[in-house]
Structure 1
Amino acid sequence: MKTNLRLLSRLFLMIMLTALTSCEKDDEVTPKEDTGEIMFYTVLGTTGGGVIVKVDGRTIGTLTKYYTSGGADCARNDNDGGELVYTGTAGRHSLNATSMNGVYTWDATFEVEANSCSTFKLY
């Protein structure tokens, strides 16, 4: 009986310690100072359904709408398919984009500036 009681008290203690340590506040996540954003958009309406955009070899999404006038604005991203925002480390990155109909392709490099957002027009 004493053995069972000791075992139960140890088990209870272990559970309580686990519960207390899991309730600790996580460190707050702060944005890294060496990251920035690039907003991609297009003015071409003849892409056959959109433009697949890759940055550094990874697909970040598909532009499904295009701008008929003006251009994208970092402060005005409505996530409606007309813009794609890439957040990455400051420095040079590669872009590869292809229209769905295969008519248009883009291969370029671009610069991400720390703590900044820039636009990149595919045309």
Structure 2
Amino acid sequence: MGNFGNYFIFIMAFVAIIDRFIFRRKSVEILSIGDAVVKESAIAFPVSLRVKRSWVSNAQIEYWLQDLKNPSVVISGKTRPVDASKRGEREEYLLIDTKYLEPTKWDLKVTLTNGNCRL
């Protein structure tokens, strides 16, 4: 039975290497998130991304603001795909409508999903 455990660990390591270097699911990464910029009726957060390959599948970026005084209050932005991105570094804006914001301290949370792998 102990031999089976060693084989299982070896197989899982091999699958992880295949996932990383052949399927390359982790092909988009967040470089930086800038300070908020007010644009008409929305607050925009500039996000710098690095796309490592020209074809990206199932990559999505989702974001939300959370009230620091009352953490149960959350304002979600629109989840959108990063599939159409070109290879290289780029910047895009994450928008939150100002009509939902109250004068309090907010915390921006950003999640990038590459394939089925959450970062």
Identify the structure with bigger relative contact order (alpha carbons < 8 Å, sequence gap 6+): 1
TM-score, structure 2 as length reference: 0.34
Mark the structure with the bigger radius of gyration. 1
In terms of fraction of residues, the more strand-rich structure is 2
